[in-house]
Amino acid sequence: MKCKILHESGRRMRIHIFKPYMSCEEADILEFFLQGQEGVSHATVDERTGNAVVHFREEIRKETGDECGSPSAREKLQKRLAEFDFSSEEAVVPDHSGRVLTRQYEDKMFFHIARRLLMRFVVPMPLRTVLTAVRSVPYLGKAAKSLVKGKLEVSVLDAASISVSMLRGEFQTAGSIMFLLGIGDIMEEWTHRKSVEDLAAAMALNAEKVWIRTEEGKEVLLDISQVHAGDTMVIRTGNLIPLDGVVLEGDGMVNQASITGEPLPVHKASGSMIYAGTVVDEGELAVTVREEAGSGRYDRIIRMIEESEKLKSLTEDKASHLADRLVPWTFGATALTWLLTRSSARAASILMVDFCCALKLSMPIAVLSAMREAGMHHIAVKGGKFMENCAEAVTIVFDKTGTLTDAAPSVKDVVTFNGSSGDEMLRLAACLEEHYPHSMANAVVSEAVRRSLEHEEKHSRVEYVVAHGIASSIDEKKVCIGSYHFVFEDEGCVIPEEEQERFDALPDEYSHLYLAIDGILCAVILIEDPLKKEAAGVIRLLHQEGISRVVMLTGDSDRTARAVAARVGVDDYRSEVLPEDKAEFIREEHNAGRMVIMVGDGVNDSPALSEADCGVAINSGAAIAREIADVTISEDDLHSLVTLRRISSALMTRIHRNYTAILSINSVLILLGVLGILPSTGTALLHNVSTIGISMRSMTDLLEENGKQK
């Protein structure tokens, strides 16, 4: 592909692609291709101009001293671009990136403004008058419907302003009112559609592999693209159901809130229909696939959430209701002004300057802009109200494993008992753990792969107990793997008497995973779970951002929890907690009058994520956690939490500032109109200009405005 570097500055490079026309699909392919290159932190492509802007990572610039990333990274990028072809399948692009929607509404806004300019400067006055009258009909019709229902809403005030302007012969003013209302309608619709698509994308399928049962009864792990209608999937506790199907056998509880909106899990048994994107809360299901990948799940999500009230923040909703409540007062002030002054011009000036238009226009724009900015920092927010909750929260609760600690813990050692072989015990543990999405399970499976320990699926049906462990049978022997509580207290396993001293000498600095066969301990797998390097700094920054209480909840022993809590600097911690204990702790915080943010990544965090005012899931965590959470952040860096808090707080500041500006400016304009200092056309013009100005201001980046960057 032919391209040219237009400009290089700091960590930024601007490139022009020599292509006569670039479609939205091609722009997405190129953008995701660039973002996947070595040394690139972020890239954007403008399909209209054919320009791409590439940002290099900060750490590369620091290590090399080069102002635009390391020379090797820059040269590699240039070489890859020269070899790039839009037909390449290297870049994985989501089905719905949002680019087409943005293009659609940008075009709609452009033609709306162009039509206004054409009417103003090209169309002759007589024809302009007729066209203005024709364009007013939909507004008058909408007002009539509102009055028939006995409601005095903003639509009635809009129609009154347009009608009075035309009756006074001020068709230019009427046209200006309809122009501004048109912009408001476009922006409000854009905000809603963008919110819906962002939510749908956040809920979209993130399953790449699935367990398939072969005709011989074995289970194999396949890419989702390799699964066909008629295949049998095996879905276990905590797993996402990646495709529509019918339950062949098994029994389980399925969380299908993402499709049906039902808050409670639904029981599924043989013959039950299950849907892609739902999650198995409990149990195990063998499912016959009905439809292959890409069978319309996204569209079903869109339909489900299209009218969802949770997309609006309480403040945004308050602005909309306040606008409607102000309508009778506006009409009353208009009538009173006419009675006192007998001046239709002064009375009309009040109609020309209402608070409603600015309130209903600027608030959705502010929320849309904040959600867009969060997305730029790899933070997917499922609705405006969750940003408001995040801004007002004073308590943040962290799960430990996979959240405060590294998302990829590793096996430090396998300590064997009862004459067992370390490799065999690790092989057995991996055979059981590979079916369940958890960071410690992933560590066991990864270590088995590193040691080239292959295994056959010899075990019978696996029983998974959330936050405890796994039980199964191999060669008619019961096998248990999990926590101390599960293996020794629930399952009644014992330590070989002659090896008690070795057991007591196990090092405390590691997490312990116990494996027992036929009731006798055979191995303890030591898991090294280092803290994320940024954890302590993030907690310190959260305190600075107004979080007064940082709490860590973990199922680990008190010994391990106390050590981690001291290192990261949390205000409080709870150890050996169950999933229901985490949710109960959040309810206690609510009873104390505190709003809560919950951060987690596992199946056992889902009750707490659901209970919290703002549930935040780590992107690499369990499917059910991502499904239930209100916000999803990248697993790479906990600083995203600080960024989310800053954007949310800045959004609320902007909204309150908008309130003040709208009330102040419009009150002054009304006063000037009533006193006869400004004519109605003048107050209408200044009102429109101030409304557009406030709305444009609401589109700017919040972090840049507040001088706070990630």
Question: Minimal CA–CA distance to 605: which of 579, 577, 634?
Answer: 579
Residue in the structure block whose two tokens are 């749908």: 200
Report DSSP state, residue 240.
B
CB atoms inside a 10 Å sphere around CB 386 = 25
How is 447-511 classified by DSSP, letter by letter? HHHHTT----------EEETTTEEEEEETTEEEEEE-HIIIIIIS--B--GGGHHHHHTS-TTSE
Q: How far is CA 373 from the centre of its chain?
A: 12
Which region among 241-255, 444-458, 516-530 has the lowest average model confidence (pLDDT)? 444-458
The three-state secondary structure class of 646 is: helix
Query: What are the CA-CA distances from residue 463 to residues 264, 282, 315 (Å)?
Result: 22, 10, 46
Question: Minimal CA–CA distance to 407: which of 597, 631, 621?
Answer: 621
> pLDDT digits over 525-538, tens only?
998 878 888 999 99
Q: Is 396 exposed, middle or buried (CB count within 10 Å of its CB: 0-12, 13-18, 19+)?
A: buried
Q: How far apart are alpha carbons 267 and 254 in whole angstroms?
A: 6
| pLDDT category of residue 710 using cuts at 50, 70 and 90 | very low
- pLDDT value at residue 262: 56
Query: Which residues touch 602 (CB under 8 Å, ≥6 apart)?
Result: 238, 399, 401, 402, 437, 438, 439, 621, 622, 625
Token duo for residue 304 = 């489900």
Q: How far apart are alpha carbons 606 and 617 in whole angstroms?
A: 9
Q: How far apart are alpha carbons 427 and 474 in whole angstroms?
A: 13
Query: What are the CA-CA distances from residue 611 to residues 95, 588, 630 (Å)?
Result: 31, 11, 11
- pLDDT value at residue 260: 57
State which H helix or E strand residue 246 sits in: strand 245-255
Q: How far apart are alpha carbons 654 and 91 in whole angstroms?
A: 37
Token duo for residue 681 = 């056309």
CB atoms inside a 10 Å sphere around CB 290 = 16
Q: How far apart are alpha carbons 138 and 121 in whole angstroms?
A: 24
CB 54 within 8 A of CB 12: yes
Token duo for residue 495 = 């330590």
Length of the chain: 710
Q: How far apart are alpha carbons 57 and 532 in whole angstroms?
A: 19
Q: Is 413 exposed, middle or buried (CB count within 10 Å of its CB: 0-12, 13-18, 19+)?
A: middle
Which region among 477-481, 499-503, 506-510, 517-521 has the lowest average model confidence (pLDDT)? 506-510
Give the largest Cα separation in the chain, rounded: 105
Residue 119 in this model has a pLDDT that exceeds 50 = yes
CB 683 within 8 A of CB 672: yes
- pLDDT value at residue 297: 52
CB 491 within 8 A of CB 516: yes
Question: Minimal CA–CA distance to 679: which of 353, 298, 418?
Answer: 353
> pLDDT digits over 139-191, tens only?
999 989 988 988 887 788 888 888 888 888 888 888 888 887 787 778 767 76
Higher pLDDT, 693 or 62: 693
Burial letters 141-154, b for 16+ CB under 10 A, else e: ebbeebeeeeebbb
Instruction: List alpha helices for 168-296, DSSP H.
Output: 171-203, 257-260
Q: How far apart are alpha carbons 573 and 360 in whole angstroms?
A: 44
Query: What percent of the chain stands above pLDDT 70?
Result: 82
Question: Minimal CA–CA distance to 349: which of 689, 682, 691, 668?
Answer: 682
Query: Which residues touch 705 (CB under 8 Å, ≥6 apart)?
Result: 650
> pLDDT digits over 463-502, tens only?
665 556 788 887 778 899 988 888 998 889 999 988 998 9
Region 79-95 average pLDDT? 69
Q: How far apart are alpha carbons 137 and 150 in whole angstroms?
A: 20
Query: What are the CA-CA distances from residue 512 to residues 127, 465, 683 (Å)?
Result: 82, 17, 73
> What is the rounded radius of gyration, in angstroms, for the C-alpha atoms of the chain?
30
Token duo for residue 43 = 């890239």
- pLDDT value at residue 65: 47
Query: What percent of the chain stands above pLDDT 90?
Result: 20
CB 499 within 8 A of CB 419: no
Strands 549-553 and 572-574, how do they pair?
parallel
> pLDDT digits over 226-266, tens only?
888 889 999 887 777 888 889 999 888 887 765 555 556 78
- pLDDT value at residue 201: 62
Query: What are the CA-CA distances from residue 695 to residues 191, 201, 353, 650, 704 (Å)?
Result: 13, 26, 16, 16, 17
Q: How far apart are alpha carbons 198 and 308 in whole angstroms?
A: 13
> pLDDT digits over 16-70, tens only?
988 888 888 888 888 888 887 877 888 889 988 899 999 887 544 444 444 444 4
Residue 566 in this model has a pLDDT that exceeds 60 = yes
- Dihedral, 361, 366, 369, 375 alpha carbons, nearest 10: -130
Token duo for residue 402 = 């996979």
Token duo for residue 637 = 């860096």
State pTM to two decimals: 0.66
CB 247 within 8 A of CB 285: yes
Which region among 168-172, 294-298, 514-518 has the lowest average model confidence (pLDDT)? 294-298
Higher pLDDT, 66 or 281: 281
- pLDDT value at residue 90: 53
CB 286 within 8 A of CB 222: no
Span between the terminal Cα atoms of the chain, in Å: 34
What helix, strand, coil percent values describe the chain, rounded to 5? 50, 20, 30
Region 505-523 average pLDDT? 88
Residue 78 in this model has a pLDDT that exceeds 60 = yes
CB 203 within 8 A of CB 627: yes
Question: Minimal CA–CA distance to 387: which of 707, 606, 616?
Answer: 616
> pLDDT digits over 362-416, tens only?
777 788 788 878 878 888 887 778 888 999 999 999 988 778 887 567 899 999 9
Question: Minimal CA–CA distance to 683: which of 696, 672, 692?
Answer: 672
Q: What is the mean pLDDT of the chain?
A: 80
- pLDDT value at residue 678: 80
The tally of CA atoms less than 13 A away on the side-chain side of residue 608 is 32
Region 432-439 average pLDDT? 70
> pLDDT digits over 694-704, tens only?
888 888 888 87
Question: Minimal CA–CA distance to 98: which of 194, 29, 231?
Answer: 194
